[in-house]
Amino acid sequence: GAVVSQHPSWVICKSGTSVKIECRSLDFQATTMFWYRQFPKQSLMLMATSNEGSKATYEQGVEKDKFLINHASLTLSTLTVTSAHPEDSSFYICSARDRDRSTDTQYFGPGTRLTVL
Amino acid sequence: GEDVEQSLFLSVREGDSSVINCTYTDSSSTYLYWYKQEPGAGLQLLTYIFSNMDMKQDQRLTVLLNKKDKHLSLRIADTQTGDSAIYFCAVVFSGGYNKLIFGAGTRLAVHP
């Protein structure tokens, strides 16, 4: 149980294009999902917290117009990197919190590697 | 704000025990977590401990929590080559949405 998927697992795009990454909780409902970014050999940096049916809460320094987050259902959140540039190349990981558990445990997706040329 | 610190690297011989340490600053976290990350993959939840516990054992994994010193450790018994990965400790920051704060990660290398 508690499986989170991400799609795509990797993507290469040209500079200036937009890329959408999906995060799905497969066997549980998630009122809250989180989006992280991880640079090589570094820890995870929280970008934003996404609550179903409401606007995402962005961490300081993260551009909300650059990284659009939508959490339209209890099992799906999307992150759209708009007008991507090479400096946006990174490993993006989502996580989801099971609303029926009281432990605040976050279950992580396998990550999406974005390369912007 | 919350701060979580870990040593960055640990090398052990196959069959030995590994101990990965973590210290944190915010003592309000109800649960404390250990995650494992293999190359190119997401994070896998290994185990967690409730803040009113001192120890939790799960097969080869033992978690020790010293709340007074704000110290968390993960012991892996009979370490195998498949245990080679990066291990993150994480605590819940109570400042909003109960977000996780991660340490920098400890890279565990297991050699024959």
What is the tens place of the pLDDT at every residue in B14-40? Answer: 999 999 999 998 767 788 999 999 988
pLDDT of residue B109: 97
Nearest partner of A25 among A51, A58, A1, judged by Cα: A1
Concatenate the DSSP letters of all residues of B6-35 into one string: E-SEEEEETTS-EEEEEEES-TT-SEEEEE
Question: Within 10 Å of residue A94's Cβ, how many Cβ atoms?
Answer: 31
- For the stretch A77-95, pLDDT in tens is 999 999 999 999 999 999 9
Supply A59's token pair.
């961490």
The predicted structure's pLDDT at residue A42: 85
Q: What is the mean pLDDT of residues B83-108?
A: 87
What's the pLDDT at A49?
92
Residue B97 pLDDT grade (very low, low, confident, very high; cuts 50, 70, 90)? low
pLDDT of residue B100: 86
- Residue in B31, B92, B97 nearest the CB of A32: B97
Buried b (16+ CB within 10 A) or exposed e, B79-105: beeebbbbbbbbbbbeeebbbbbbbbb
∠ Cα A112 B1 B4 (to 5°) = 60
Nearest by CB to residue A107, choosing from B40, B45, B92, is B45
For the segment A91-105, the average pLDDT, to the nearest whole number, is 84
Confidence at residue A41, expressed as pLDDT on a 0 to 100 scale: 81
User: What residues of chain A, 1 to 60, have a C-beta less than 8 Å from chain B?
Assistant: 2, 4, 6, 32, 34, 42-44, 46, 49, 51, 57
Task: With CB atoms and an 8 Å threshold, state whether B45 touches A95.
Answer: no
- Which residue is listed with tokens 């025990």? B17
Among B30, B31, B43, beta carbon nearest to A108: B43
Mean pLDDT of chain B: 91
Q: Which residue has the higher pLDDT, B28 or B55?
A: B55
Query: Higher pLDDT residue, B92 or B43?
Result: B43
| Segment A33-49 mean pLDDT | 91
Q: Which residues of A touch B98 (CB under 8 A)?
A: 104
Task: Please give the pLDDT value at position B27.
Answer: 66
Per-residue confidence (pLDDT) for residue B95, from 0 to 100: 65
Cα–Cα nearest to A32, from B46, B96, B105: B96
Rounded distance, CA A45 to CA A107, Å?
A: 16
Best interface-test mutation with B: which of A34, A35, A43, A113 has the largest number of B CBs within 10 A? Answer: A43
pLDDT at A106 over 70: yes
B99 to A51: CB separation less than 8 angstroms, yes or no: no
Cβ contacts of A111 on chain B, cutoff 8 Å: 40-42
pLDDT (0 to 100) of residue A31? 83
Chain A residue at shortest CA distance from B88: A43
pLDDT at residue B96 tops 70: no
pLDDT category of residue B93 using cuts at 50, 70 and 90: confident
Q: What is the mean pLDDT of chain A?
A: 92
Q: What is the pLDDT of residue B26?
A: 74
Asked if the model's pLDDT at residue A51 lies above 80, the reply is: yes
Within 8 A of B35 by CB-CB distance, chain A residues are: 108
Q: A43 and B103: CB-CB below 8 Å?
A: yes
